[in-house]
Amino acid sequence: MIDPAFPGSRWFASPSELRRAGVIGINDRNLSLIAEQNHRALYPRVDNKLITKTICEQHGIPVPDTYNVISSQGEVRRILELLGSHESFVIKPASGAAGRGVLVIASRDKEGFHTGSGKLVTRGELRYHVSAILSGLYSLRGQVDQAIVEQRIVCDPSLERVSYGGTPDVRVILYRGVPAMAMVRLPTIDSGGRANLHQGAIAAAIDLGTGVTYGGASRNRRVSVHPDTGNAIAGITIPEWRRLLLSAIRLGDALELGYLGLDFVVDAVRGPVVLEGNARPGLAIQVAHREGLRNRLDWIDHNSQPGLSPEARLGLAERLTRESRPENP
């Protein structure tokens, strides 16, 4: 069990404290996880969201509907035509990272377009944004990119009371095909309605066995209530949790990456839908859990074996969370 005074939630902790708590740092992640578990030739499967979508569709895993793909600056001038009659949509870079360049439009009128938080985006600003995506402003390596126009997910009502101006998303960390940790990222006013931890969203840990949230952190500080809604962060049940985890396991098998993060949103109608994959997932999930990741990965190494079915690996994840869950989250 983890000491409630988890060192990762303090401004300073010694390296020995972090090691004892099983906290994984950037160098450790890069050398012992990414380099060992992920073959570089397979990175495009998650670095390019269009490829990820294709793989999902081939394996019957739900993704947001794609309305259009914009590949040239000439198409930018026709953006209104390419958007068709869609009142709400998302525009994102195909090869973006960390949520950069994602524009969520909730409605449109004669003035232009409106984000979920109510900000007006003019037609000129929309064209400029798409042009910036194509030029590679948000891409992983600064190379020319494509802009994906896709369905905007409607948040499941059960999550609305802990979200402001946007849709929460769920991050699942998979290790050797077994869910190791999960968290939900909750949009706030500070984050501009985005589920982006770097911009001020809240991270809440999820119990792998039950799908119920606990803990809570924002900008590396503990939080227990949503600052904008006033509702408790702990005790929220993620809808269709087992289905979401099974989708994550199946997608991990298809991607053939041994260590990755998979992001889902829970649509009010369709249920769990895949947003993207990440071969270099960040480590803030440890702060949300107030628990280091290393002990969970060691547990999987000791208890998992090749050839287990998705259902068997889901059972392992449920066992794992029972044995590693902090006593005082």
pLDDT of the residue at 7: 57
Length of the chain: 329
What residues contact 254, with CB distance under 8 A and at least 6 apart?
Answer: 55, 56, 58, 59, 61
CA 267 – CA 244 distance, rounded (Å): 12
Per-residue pLDDT tens digits for 265-292: 999 999 999 999 999 999 999 999 999 9
pLDDT of the residue at 6: 55
pLDDT of the residue at 16: 73
Tokens 């449920």 belong to 318
DSSP 154: P
Residue 289 φ then ψ, to 5°: -85, -15
Q: What SS3 class is residue 33?
A: helix
pLDDT of the residue at 238: 98
The third-level CATH classification (topology) of the domain covering 15-62+156-324 is D-amino Acid Aminotransferase; Chain A, domain 1 (3.30.470)
The answer to which of 160-169, 180-189, 318-327 has the lowest mean pLDDT is 318-327
Tokens 């969370």 belong to 321
The third-level CATH classification (topology) of the domain covering 66-151 is Dna Ligase; domain 1 (3.30.1490)
Per-residue pLDDT tens digits for 79-132: 999 999 999 999 999 999 878 899 999 999 999 999 987 899 999 999 999 999
Per-residue pLDDT tens digits for 9-30: 554 566 777 778 899 999 999 9
How much of the chain exceeds pLDDT 90, in percent? 81
Overall average pLDDT of the 75-80 stretch: 95
CA 260 – CA 282 distance, rounded (Å): 10
Alpha-carbon dihedral sign for residues 295, 298, 299, 300 = positive
DSSP 32: I
Across 207-270, the runs of DSSP E, i.e. the strands, are 213-218, 221-222, 259-267
Q: What angle do CA 41, 275, 78 make, to 5 degrees?
A: 95
Counting Cβ atoms within 10 Å, is residue 9 exposed (0-12), middle (13-18) or buried (19+)? middle
pLDDT of the residue at 198: 86
Closest CA to 166 of 235, 226, 239: 226
DSSP 237: B
Q: What is the DSSP string of 63-119?
A: -PPEEEEE-SHHHHTTHHHHHTT-SSEEEEETTB-TTTT-EEEEEEETTEEEETT--
Per-residue pLDDT tens digits for 183-242: 999 999 999 888 989 889 999 999 999 999 998 999 888 899 999 999 999 999 999 999
CA 283 – CA 288 distance, rounded (Å): 10
All structural domains of the chain with their residue ranges: 15-62+156-324, 66-151
pTM tops 0.95: no
Helix (H) or strand (E) holding 276: strand 271-278
CB 262 within 8 A of CB 171: yes
Counting Cβ atoms within 10 Å, is residue 1 exposed (0-12), middle (13-18) or buried (19+)? exposed
Residue type, 218: S
Token couple for 10: 């303090």
pLDDT of the residue at 3: 42
DSSP 152: P
Q: Which residues of 143-173 are buried (b: 16+ CB within 10 A; e: fewer)?
A: eebbbbbbbbbebbeebeebbbbbbbbbbbb
